[in-house]
Chain A
Amino acid sequence: MAGQWQAVTGMARAARAVLVVVLCLFLTLLILLGLRIHDSLSELRGEANDNLHWNLSQLEVDLVRLGEEMRVDALQPDASLKELRKRYDLFYSRAQNAIGGKGYSAPGLNDLPQQFAALLNAYIARETPLIDGSDATLRENLPAMADRLAELRDKLRKTSIAMIDALAKQGDEKRDAFSNLVRQMALATGGTILLLGALLGVVLWLNRVAAREQALTARVSERLAATIDTALDAIIVADHEGRIIQYNPSAEKTFGYSKADAMGRDLGTLIVPPGLRAAHTAGMTRMRQSGQFKVVNAGRIQITALHRSGREFPVELAISSADGDQGRIFISFLRDISDRLAAEAELTSTRDKAVAAGRAKTEFVAVMSHEMRTPLNGVIASLEIASGMATEPELRRFIGLAQDSAQLLLRHANDVLDISRLESNGLQLTVEDFDINAHVGGLVETFRPMCDEKRIDLRYTMTGERPILQGDPFRLGQIVRNFLSNAIKFTRQGGVTIEAEVSESRSQTRVIEIRVTDTGPGIPEADQARIFEDFVMLDPSFGRTGEGAGLGLAICRRLAQAMGGEIGVESTPGEGSCFWLRIPFALGRKPVVVAGTEDRAPMPAMDVLVVEDNATNRAVLGELLRRLGQRVTFAFDGEKGAAAATAHRYDVILMDVSMPVMDGLTATGLIRQSGASKNSRIVAVTAHSMPEDLVRIRKAGMDDMLMKPISSGNLIRVLSGTALINAKPVDGLIDDDRIAELKMAIGADGLARLAGKFLGDGSQLIARLLSDEALEAPAETLGAICHEAAGLASVLGAAKLRSLCARAEELCRSGRAGDAREILRRELGVVWQETATSVKAMLP
């Protein structure tokens, strides 16, 4: 509609232009016609010659009077001839006009004037001598002269009539031409009037359009003014010099100045706080000089404004600029955001408080779990010792139950601790290079005994690239272990398949995808997302009998997220589930080498059987062994371990001492009796190295003892058959390698716990060793105590202490108990103090 309207207006404007041009042409035509009419009129008015008709008639009159005089004089013989001669003279004079003058000539008369003049000439030539002659001769010739005059008059008349006819014709033509000219003039005038009328119409119409547009503009302006007046934001319009030229009611409310006060005032002095005024003035100057705006059209800005009362308050400001009648104008929209900021501040503080409260709760839970673990470890340790000492089968069963429960409780505490650490982002991920294939493969192997027991298959395949990755293999392993233990737990028949695949995401990054597929009951679709939430167990009945607080997958989810990856499940109820993880790792820089190859000879690859009921210990041992390049096989308890060792020859068997079903000592006895591994090296793995344990272990046919927690140094020692005393010499107070290993294996908390235990046990043991009773004891007893102290020291890598005790033990064994006592008296107290101080520093 508007477009159409504009088109019509445009056409009207074009028509007006065309009309003006045509009108100009018409006016030019009118002027030309006017000029021609003027010329014609001038021609008519400015008659070049005397009137022909008059001349002819006057000539005729002169001739008539001359003729009359002739006749009168002919009749009176004595009359004077003076009058005759005067008449002739008058005629003569008149005739001269026709002969020499122009009064008888006119356009279109052809040769008629010449004929006329010739007649007169001939007559005058004949008569003049008679007139000028004597009276007598004249009087004698008068009658004949009169006749000739009449004859002349007839001839002249004929010629003059012809002349008058021609002249009349000429006059008609002239009049026709003139009337044509006048007609054309009239037509042109009429056309001009019509054009003027049309032009007037167009102009009137355009005027009406303009008036309508003006009305529209006025309405728009009115609407705009109303909009500005009712706007909730303060709107201030300033000219290019910063003077206020518009100020709405909201601005009155916001700034306290009435419109009358504000109009014409300088924006800077009115609402800009004194502190910002210099910047404001500089900005205005810069804008005027260079036309650059810093805040104009820059969106919303938060700034401080000044109220009439002198109060400064925060405002949100948006400025736009436009071209006004007298230069650039600036339209500022200002909003008092004091309330909003206050609300935001309150909200922030409330949130901060809530977050702090949440964190406090998390911390509390973490501390509690942590605190729980220390006594729990004590319980577990005590139970292990007790189970070693118990001989009553019934008692051993109960101790076994108590041990299971304590382990479960410890796992719960660990889970809760993990959760709270993950929640508070307190989880420290280590960064180290690891061989992904070996790592996952080893992990899987630790579950093989469990699967064998349940008579289900366990398959591991890795496809594609097998790179060295960089990241936290322990945490990756934690997720895989969780997947695996769940899969095995829920699979009654069939098997569990682990597929690993590495894909490239960027040149220096790889994504490892691990799928653990089982043939268990599967998970209903509705539950598939829920199982990754905290404290969810799908089968409460199983949960009660199985272990776990329902936190496993929740921890896995958080771990995966912490490593920048994700986990999920695909499942068809009745057919099985597939848990998958996808985690990106940086590409490792160097191939994984056996730790500490610099000072240790490479280990020969051996077949190692690990008999261990505790999954964590299995994982740690398996991992350490694999790093040392050993081939590892796992067994879950003594019975299975003995069976495996009987069936296959292993170079080394690492045997946990206290295990359900059959303990390590019994199993060792069985292995030593017969079978493939009858002569293999069997190493006891135990947490405590009480002297009586050592005796029992030796009696049972074991070759060495590996103390928990297990370090690679100890492993190397027992694998290579090197005696404790020949372990690598370390001069430092504390072996940093050992601390690092411990930290990796049991975490910082475990290390702290271990350190606390070390301090407690150590101070008792050292006090005992320094007591007179021990020092006076026989060499064998003193050596045993020294052995125990050295073992304790080795747990935490207290190299100096261990080395001292080992030396004393060696001296005792070699019959130099006196020297041993001397060394102990002189050095033990100091070394212990130094060691204790260093270990205390490790406590949180």
Chain B
Amino acid sequence: MLYFLRGALGAMIAVLMAGWAAAAEFDAPTGDVLLTVSGAIVATNVDGTLQLDQALLESLPQTEFSTSTTWTSGITTFKGVLLKDLAAAIGATGGTITLRAVNDYAISMPLADLGEDAPLLAFLVDGQTMSLRDKGPIWMVYPYDKDDKFRTEEVFSRSIWQLTEISFAE
């Protein structure tokens, strides 16, 4: 119940912030563009899309956690922006999110699946930016060690790496 309330409150704040953030302007990227967001969003900076470099990403609320993954050995610390924080900041209103990787891998998920602590759009692994060989520039990860619910096939399939594009559909 309390959890639910917190969730509901969080969602409300997110909506409010989205409204507020919608008024905010994103500057045009100055560095290499790591992520391009398109679709049903309010905030844009380049040709109706929102193009985010590392600086712009770092201007958004930052989240960090450490976990092991099925694809790596040992514990890894991930740092980046929670997808829900991004969605709130850019005033995303759509029902479905589609995420696309460099290798043409793509997944879709409902906006409602965005949790409070996952997924995280990580752009720093152990404090370092990620090359393509290290699953960069952005890897969407979950805190797999934290809970069983983060160790399902669906979660594994959504853990998209070499992420470059996100689009919100109505």
Contact = CB atoms under 8 A, between A and B. Distances in A.
Given A100-B72, A101-B71, A47 B133 contact: no
A101 B133 contact: no
Contact of B131 (A46, A47, A49, A89): A89
Interface stretch (B6-14, B50-58, B106-114, B149-157): B149-157
B132 A90 contact: yes
Interface string B98-110: 0000110100000
A3 to B, nearest CB: 64
A97 B151 CA distance: 17
A103 B156 CA distance: 10
Contact of B73 (A45, A50, A100): A100
A97 B148 contact: no
Contacts of A89: 131-133
A96 B132 CA distance: 12
A96 B105 CA distance: 17
B66 interface: no
* Interface size, B (range): 20 to 34
A51 B134 contact: no
A183 interface: no
A10 to B, nearest CB: 54
Given A90-B132, A92-B133, A50 B161 contact: no
Nearest to B71: A101
A798 B71 CA distance: 162
* Interface size, A (range): 20 to 34
A558 to B, nearest CB: 116
A93 B152 CA distance: 22
Contacts of A96: 71-72, 133-135
A86 B132 CA distance: 8
B49 interface: no
B153 A93 contact: no
A780 to B, nearest CB: 162
A92 B70 CA distance: 17
Contacts of B132: 86, 89-90, 92-93
A102 interface: yes
B69 interface: yes
Contact of A48 (B105, B134, B151): B151
Interface string B133-152: 11100000000000010011
Contacts of A102: 70-71
Contacts of A62: 103
B167 interface: no
Contact of A50 (B70, B105, B131, B133): B70
Contacts of B161: 93
Contacts of B72: 96-97, 100-101
A351 to B, nearest CB: 102
Contacts of A86: 102, 132
Given A47-B152, A90-B102, 13 more contacts: A45-B152, A46-B151, A49-B70, A49-B156, A51-B156, A86-B132, A93-B135, A96-B71, A96-B72, A96-B134, A97-B72, A100-B71, A102-B71
5 contacts: A46-B152, A51-B156, A86-B102, A93-B162, A96-B133
Interface of A: 45-51, 58, 62, 86, 89-90, 92-93, 96-97, 100-103
